[in-house]
């Protein structure tokens, strides 16, 4: 290696440790700013010659690169953060038990920051869709729908039947709706997905749980700015500031995203401000606060029938533009979280939040206005102890939510609210207590037993009813429901484990399913009830370069809620008997190349397969028997392939291939979305210098193969308006600059 002829004026000794375990890290490459290269020994130490204000770049397989300023003539202790390359290092908090993924007795997937940043950073859709068992849909910019193991059947619009948490607060409202589209990708540093019923610890629900977290670890002062542009008039910019304080830190982020949209009448405009504060008044406690304000406006192009799709796939549904079909939503959230350590054995975390929302939804058939305020909280105690010779962990707590909504439905005349049709005051409450016991019978076998007691109710006070002129009230209270879960984990050795579980699910109808847009109040709609049987295997091998994960499940669901439309095109809901849902989910990732000293440092491949074989078991409506048909909206086969390259100069390359099998769009299986292959590509260059500046330049192509497809169609649509076409081939690019001070 060629060395620059500079005169060293001092020496420095480095001690390199794992940031979490504090264990020394051997064979770390240290690159000095003037060109020399060193390798740490087996004790994580290295001695090198430096000049004043020299900086070093530290790299190692399995750890994030770090640039530091070296101080001559003393020991420099440096901690590297693990990349979590194998299942024993990926830490997840599923079922409120923070453990490595290898030791989780549940089907849990983690979407990392790197997953989010391998695509165009205007939406989380493609990142979630890399995980088996998950389908994230976006029928128009910011019009999201999430399906975990086929749960989108009862979600004609919005996110339903999936419980979402954001930074520890229940982000799903007590009425069952989730305003996920008010969040920007920068508000989601990572996500954990629990698939299947998780009611033993997260309350009522059959569709799974998503826990989102934004940046929590503020380790340095920095100023960030991002800019990205793309086809269809897309522009997004962000400003961020992280500042350390004497006993805490504060972070502020503002982001705005605009686009004209691929289709006619599909523009969007979103502004999000987030302020985070973390404070450490003592060694035993941490106080965190979050404030989030979002202003979202997006247009709804609507579904097309087959003839309209063939004529012009970019057109809007006739009437959508004239009636200004759109969503206008302003939301404010405030949260405080308190962590307290009573002793080495006992801890508590409690969270309280307030929120207010102003919502307008002009649509082709009506005009809806809502104002809502709500509050809620969650608390959990974790106690670690030994009973006889058995280590145990007891988790117990509760959650409560309340919301009050003033909702009015008007006629829509040219995009303006016309005569009022009906107006309601809606009060919804839900809550539950939860308990969980984990017992390590041996060093290899752990049993988990959980239970929650759930209650919910809603009051609908109809103050105005133009059709009858008589106000009235309706109430629905669900009796307390016990939701149990039993799970068993067996570690076969240090790098492989089996897990099995039986869990029950209970999912009451949401307020939007009971109170529909044409004014009907359907108090006869029953809650869904299900039981899930699951077994899985995880392992990592090949010197931690290969990870494998497979899960099979059988989910029996009774009183399945499905959608249909009346002659006016209004979406209504009904119970559809029972469904049988059998499936397999598999993921394999491995490194063909991983050498920090080489020019091509990483060659990483990932494959994910989903096989969902879901059938209506007992479903007959209006003289039609759908028993034995495929479950509407579910693809039987999905395959994901990913290739990631990373080079020593900072160049990177991310390629993703997704195959989605044909999807039935109506209950009688006469209309399908065709199978498709979706190709996405992103490449860029990252550079860090002077220990202060970090630059990234990137560009990408979405739908590289120019496929005709949809990221989510309408199910059981009236008039054949099933199709919501997604963009053809399109391009984007961006720039990120970070200054550390």
Instruction: Kindly provide the residue ranges of all beta strands, DSSP E only, lying in 619-662, ordered along the sequence.
Output: 620-621, 624-625, 637-647, 651-660
Q: Helix (H, G, I), strand (E, B), or coil: what is residue 544?
A: coil
The pLDDT, as a whole number, for residue 428 is 94
pLDDT in tens, 421-453: 999 999 999 999 999 999 999 999 999 999 999
Q: How confident is the model at residue 53 (pLDDT cuts 50, 70, 90)?
A: low
**What pLDDT does 691 receive?**
73
* DSSP element (H, E) containing 113: helix 113-116
Q: In this structure, are residues 180 and 165 in contact, taking their beta carbons and an 8 Å threshold?
A: no
DSSP code string of 307-328: HHHHH-TTPPPTTTTTTT-EEE
Q: Are 556 and 576 in contact (CB under 8 A)?
A: no
* Band of pLDDT at residue 415, cut at 50, 70 and 90: very high
DSSP state of 101: G
Tell me how crowded residue 482 is: count the other CB atoms within 10 A of its CB: 12
In this structure, the strands spanning 10-18 and 75-80 are: parallel
For 93-132, give one letter per residue: b (16+ CB within 10 A) or e.
bbbbbebbbbbbbbbbbbbeeebbbbbbbbbbbbbbbbbb
What are 216-242's pLDDT values in tens digits?
A: 777 789 999 999 999 999 999 999 999
pLDDT, the chain, mean: 89
Q: How far is CA 667 from the centre of its chain?
A: 28
19: three-class secondary structure by DSSP: coil
List the one residue out of 241, 124, 236 whose CA is nearest residue 190.
124
- Strands 163-166 vs 209-213: parallel, antiparallel or unpaired: parallel
Most confident among 341-350, 556-565, 682-691, 713-722 (mean pLDDT): 341-350
653-703 pLDDT, tens digit per residue, is 999 999 999 999 998 999 999 999 999 999 999 998 777 899 999 999 999
pLDDT tier for residue 407 given thresholds of 50, 70 and 90:
very high
The CATH fold assigned to 212-740 is Maltoporin; Chain A (2.40.170)
If one counts every other C-beta atom within 10 angstroms of the C-beta of residue 416, the result is 12
CB count in 10 Å sphere of residue 233? 11
Contacts of 47 by beta carbon, 8 Å cutoff, 6+ apart: 11, 12, 13, 14
**pLDDT over threshold 80, residue 384:** yes
Bridge partner list, 276:
251, 290
Report whether pLDDT(117) > 70.
yes
User: Which helix H or strand E contains 514, and what residues bound it?
Assistant: helix 511-514
Q: Phi-psi bin for 235: left (phi > 0), alpha (psi -120 to 50), beta?
A: beta
What single-letter DSSP state applies at residue 199? H
**Three-state secondary structure call for residue 359:** strand
Ranges 255-264, 509-518, 525-534, 682-691: which has the least confidence: 509-518
Q: What does the alpha-carbon distance between residue 323 and residue 379 come to, in Å, rounded to a whole number?
A: 45
552 CB-near residues (< 8 Å, 6+ apart): 534, 535, 536, 583, 584, 585
pLDDT for position 6:
36
pLDDT at 52: 67
Give residue 281's pLDDT: 93
In 10 A of CB 465, how many CB atoms?
A: 16
Contacts of 481 (CB under 8 A, 6+ apart): 204, 453, 454, 455, 506, 527
Tell me the per-residue pLDDT of 341-357, one tens digit each, with 9 for 90 and over: 999 999 999 999 999 99
Fold of 10-80: Immunoglobulin-like (2.60.40)
Q: Would you state the pLDDT for residue 721? A: 93
Average pLDDT on 202-214 reads 87
Question: Strands 144-148 and 561-565: what pairing?
Answer: unpaired
422 within 8 A of 408, measured Cβ to Cβ: yes
Q: How confident is the model at residue 560 (pLDDT cuts 50, 70, 90)?
A: confident
687 forms bridges with which residues in the sheet?
695
Give the span between the Cα atoms of 25 and 32, in whole angstroms.
Answer: 18
How far apart, in whole angstroms, are the C-alpha atoms of residue 504 and residue 481? 11
> Between 349 and 70, where is the model more confident?
349
Query: DSSP letters of 421-466?
Result: EEEEEEEEEEEEEEEEEEEESSSSEEEEEEEEEEEEEEEEEEEEET
pLDDT > 70: what percent of the chain?
95
* DSSP 3-state of 525: coil
Q: In terms of Cα–Cα distance, which of 98, 181, 201 is closest to 137?
A: 181
Per DSSP (E only), the strands in 300-389 are 326-341, 346-362, 367-387
Q: Which of 509, 483, 507, 488 is nearest to 499 (CA)?
A: 488
Q: Which of 85-89, 134-138, 337-341, 500-504 has the lowest mean pLDDT?
A: 85-89
Total count of residues recorded for the chain: 741
CB neighbours of 413 closer than 8 A, spacing ≥ 6? none
Q: Is 663 or 81 the better-scoring residue by pLDDT? A: 663
Spatial separation of the C-alpha atoms in residues 645 and 686, rounded to whole Å: 13
Tell me the three state secondary structure of residue 478.
strand
Q: Would you state the pLDDT for residue 34? A: 61
User: Would you list the domain boundaries of the chain?
Assistant: 10-80, 212-740
Beta-carbon contacts of 610 under 8 Å, excluding residues fewer than 6 positions away, are 132, 133, 583, 584, 585, 586, 635, 637, 638, 639
């Amino acid at each position: 290696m060629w060395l620059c002829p500079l005169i060293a004026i001092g020496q420095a000794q480095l001690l390199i440790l794992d940031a979490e375990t504090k264990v020394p890290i051997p064979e770390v490459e240290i690159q000095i700013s003037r060109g020399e290269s060193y390798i740490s020994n087996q004790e994580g130490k290295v001695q090198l010659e430096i000049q004043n204000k020299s900086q070093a770049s530290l790299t190692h397989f399995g750890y994030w690169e770090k640039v530091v300023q070296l101080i001559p003539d003393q020991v420099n202790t440096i901690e590297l953060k693990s990349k979590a390359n194998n299942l024993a290092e990926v830490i997840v908090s599923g079922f409120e038990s923070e453990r490595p993924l290898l030791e989780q007795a549940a089907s849990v997937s983690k979407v990392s920051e790197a997953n989010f940043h391998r695509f165009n950073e205007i939406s989380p859709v493609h990142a979630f869709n890399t995980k088996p068992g998950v389908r994230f849909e976006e029928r128009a910019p910011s019009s999201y729908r999430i399906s975990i193991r086929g749960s989108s059947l009862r979600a004609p619009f919005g996110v339903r039947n999936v419980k979402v948490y954001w930074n520890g607060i229940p982000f799903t409202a007590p009425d069952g709706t989730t305003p996920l589209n008010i969040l920007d990708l920068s508000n989601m540093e990572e996500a954990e997905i629990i698939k299947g019923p998780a009611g033993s610890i997260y309350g009522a629900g059959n569709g799974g749980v998503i826990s989102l977290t934004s940046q929590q670890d503020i380790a340095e002062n920095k100023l960030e700015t991002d800019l990205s542009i793309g086809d269809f008039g897309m522009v997004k910019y962000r400003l961020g500031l992280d500042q350390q304080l004497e006993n805490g830190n504060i972070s502020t982020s503002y982001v705005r995203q605009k686009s004209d949209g691929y289709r006619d009448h599909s523009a969007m405009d979103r502004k999000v401000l987030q302020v985070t504060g973390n404070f450490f008044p003592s060694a035993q406690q941490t106080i965190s606060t979050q404030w989030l304000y979002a202003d979202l406006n997006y247009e709804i192009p609507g579904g097309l029938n087959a003839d309209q799709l063939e004529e012009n796939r970019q057109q809007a549904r006739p009437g959508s533009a004239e009636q200004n079909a759109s969503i206008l939503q302003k939301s404010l959230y405030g949260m405080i979280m308190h962590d307290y350590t009573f002793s080495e054995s006992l801890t508590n975390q409690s969270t309280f939040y307030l929120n207010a929302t102003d919502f307008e939804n002009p649509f082709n058939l009506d005009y809806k206005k809502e104002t809502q305020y709500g509050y809620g909280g969650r608390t959990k105690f974790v106690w670690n102890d030994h009973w006889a010779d058995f280590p145990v962990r007891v988790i117990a707590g509760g959650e409560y939510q309340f919301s009050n909504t003033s909702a009015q439905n008007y006629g829509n005349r040219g995009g303006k609210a016309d005569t009022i049709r009906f107006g309601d005051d809606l009060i919804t409450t839900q809550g539950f207590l939860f308990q969980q016991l984990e017992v390590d019978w041996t060093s290899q076998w752990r049993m988990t037993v959980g239970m929650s007691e759930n209650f919910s109710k809603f009051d609908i006070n109809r103050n105005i009813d133009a059709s009858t002129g008589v106000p009235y009230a309706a109430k629905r209270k669900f009796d307390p429901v016990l939701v149990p879960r039993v799970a068993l984990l067996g570690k076969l050795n240090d790098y492989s484990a089996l897990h099995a579980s039986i869990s029950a699910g209970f999912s009451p109808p949401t307020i939007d399913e009971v109170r529909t847009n044409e004014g009907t109040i359907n108090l006869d709609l029953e809650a869904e009830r299900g039981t899930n049987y699951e077994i899985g295997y995880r392992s990592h091998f090949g010197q931690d370069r290969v990870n494998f994960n497979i899960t099979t499940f059988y989910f029996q669901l009774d009183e399945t809620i499905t959608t249909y439309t009346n002659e006016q095109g209004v979406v209504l809901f009904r119970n559809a008997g029972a469904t049988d849902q059998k499936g397999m989910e598999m993921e394999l990732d491995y490194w063909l190349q991983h050498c920090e000293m080489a020019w091509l440092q990483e060659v990483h491949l990932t494959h994910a397969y989903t096989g969902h074989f879901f059938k209506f078991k007992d479903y007959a409506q209006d003289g039609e028997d759908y028993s034995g048909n495929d479950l509407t909206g579910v693809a039987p086969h999905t395959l994901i392939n990913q290739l990631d390259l990373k080079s020593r100069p900072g160049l990177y390359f991310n390629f993703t291939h997704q195959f989605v099998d044909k999807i039935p769009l109506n209950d009688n299986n006469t209309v399908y979305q065709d199978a498709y292959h979706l190709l996405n590509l992103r490449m860029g260059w990252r550079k860090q210098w002077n220990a202060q500046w970090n630059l990234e330049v990137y560009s990408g192509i979405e739908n590289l193969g120019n496929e005709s497809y949809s990221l989510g169609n309408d199910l059981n649509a009236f008039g054949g308006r099933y199709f919501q076409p997604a963009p053809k081939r399109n391009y984007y690019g961006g720039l990120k600059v970070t200054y550390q001070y």
